[in-house]
A and B are shown apart, each in its own frame.
Chain A
Amino acid sequence: MGLEFLARVRKTSTWLGGVVALMAATYASPLRGLAFGAGVLWSLVNLQLVERIVVTLLGPDRGTPAGLRRLGLALTGMALLFASGAALLSLMSPVALLAGFTLPLVVIVAKAATLLLLDSRAWRGLVRHRFRAALAALVLAIGAWFALGALTSAGGAPSSPAAERSAAASAAGSEAHGAAVGEAASPEAPETSEKEEGFTNIIALVAGANPHAAWAHFLEHYEVLIFSLFIALLLLLVAFLASRSPQRIPSGFQNGVEMVVEGLSNFIVSILGPEQGPRFVPFLGTLFVYILAMNLFGLVPFMHSPTASLNVTVALALTVFVYVQFIGFKELGPIGWLDHMLGNPRDVIGWILSPLMLPIHIMGELAKPISLSCRLFGNIFGEDMLLVAFASLGVTMLPFKQIPFGIPLHAVFFPLALLGSVLQALVFTVLSSIYILLMLPHEHHDEHAAEAGAQHAH
Chain B
Amino acid sequence: MNLQAALALGLPLGIGIAAIGSGIGLGGIGLGAMQAIGRQPEATAKIQLAMIIIAALAEALTIYAFVTMFLLKGKL
Contacts and interface: CB of A to CB of B under 8 A. Distances in A.
Asked if chains A and B come from one complex, the reply is yes
Interface of A: 271, 371, 374-375, 377-379, 381-382, 423-424, 426-427, 430-431, 434, 449-450, 452-454, 456-457
B13 interface: no
21 contacts: A271-B49, A374-B64, A375-B59, A375-B60, A377-B67, A378-B64, A378-B66, A381-B67, A381-B70, A382-B66, A426-B52, A430-B49, A430-B53, A431-B53, A449-B49, A450-B50, A452-B50, A453-B50, A453-B54, A456-B54, A456-B57
A453 B53 CA distance: 7
A224 to B, nearest CB: 16
Most buried by A among B43, B53, B63, B64: B53
Contact of A450 (B46, B63, B64): B46
Contacts of A378: 60, 63-64, 66-67
Contacts of A377: 67
Given A374-B63, A375-B60, A427 B49 contact: no
A427 B46 CA distance: 14
Nearest to B56: A427
Which secondary structure characterizes the binding site on chain B?
A: helix
Nearest to B76: A173
Given A377-B67, A381-B70, A371 B60 contact: yes
Interface of B: 43, 46-47, 49-50, 52-54, 56-57, 59-60, 63-64, 66-67, 70
A421 B73 CA distance: 25
A406 to B, nearest CB: 24
Contacts of B59: 375, 379
Given A374-B67, A378-B63, A378-B66, 8 more contacts: A378-B67, A379-B59, A381-B70, A424-B56, A434-B53, A449-B49, A453-B50, A456-B54
A271 B50 CA distance: 11
Nearest to A382: B66
A375 B63 contact: yes
Contact of A382 (B53, B56, B63): B63
A379 B57 CA distance: 12
Contacts of B54: 453, 456-457
Contacts of A456: 54, 57
A431 B57 CA distance: 10
Contacts of B63: 374-375, 378-379, 382
A378 B70 CA distance: 10
B70 to A, nearest CB: 7
Q: Which of B43, B49, B59, B64 neighbours the largest number of chain A CB atoms within 10 Å of its CB?
A: B49
